């Protein structure tokens, strides 16, 4: 799978921290030094064969299922955090 670049490269560390947090809350074991490797656990749970190298056989649909599990949780947490922040600033 291709690695996507962040629009703001300085946000990389924060995004990795967020990934660690939400995936740990979802019950996944996250290696603090390699939070991207949680995708292998997600793939295993979804019965999708994902390997560290040579995933040419991986269907786009399956890659989306894996990424959706991770990214979806991250987006939900970002929205929750923004809503919390907005409710605090309104009062």
Q: How far apart are CA 32 and CA 48, in angstroms?
A: 23
Average pLDDT, the chain: 89
Q: Which of 1-5, 15-19, 50-54 has the lowest mean pLDDT?
A: 1-5
Q: How far apart are CA 52 and CA 30, in angstroms?
A: 16
- Percentage of the chain exceeding pLDDT 90: 63
Model confidence at 2, pLDDT cuts 50, 70, 90, reads low
Encoding tokens for residue 68?
A: 């959706």
Encoding tokens for residue 3?
A: 């690695």
* DSSP H or E stretch at residue 70: helix 60-90
pTM reported for the whole predicted model: 0.81
Encoding tokens for residue 65?
A: 């299922």
Domain boundaries along the sequence of the chain: 12-90
At residue 3, the 3 state secondary structure works out as coil
């Amino acid at each position: 799978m291709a690695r996507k670049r962040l629009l703001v490269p300085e946000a990389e560390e924060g995004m990795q921290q967020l990934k660690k947090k939400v995936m740990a809350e979802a019950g996944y074991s996250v290696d603090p030094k390699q939070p991207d490797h949680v995708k292998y656990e997600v793939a295993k749970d979804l019965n999708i064969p994902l390997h560290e190298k040579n995933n040419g056989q991986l269907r786009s649909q399956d890659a989306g299922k894996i990424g959706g599990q991770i990214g979806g949780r991250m987006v939900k947490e970002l929205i929750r955090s923004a809503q919390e922040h907005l409710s605090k600033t309104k009062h």
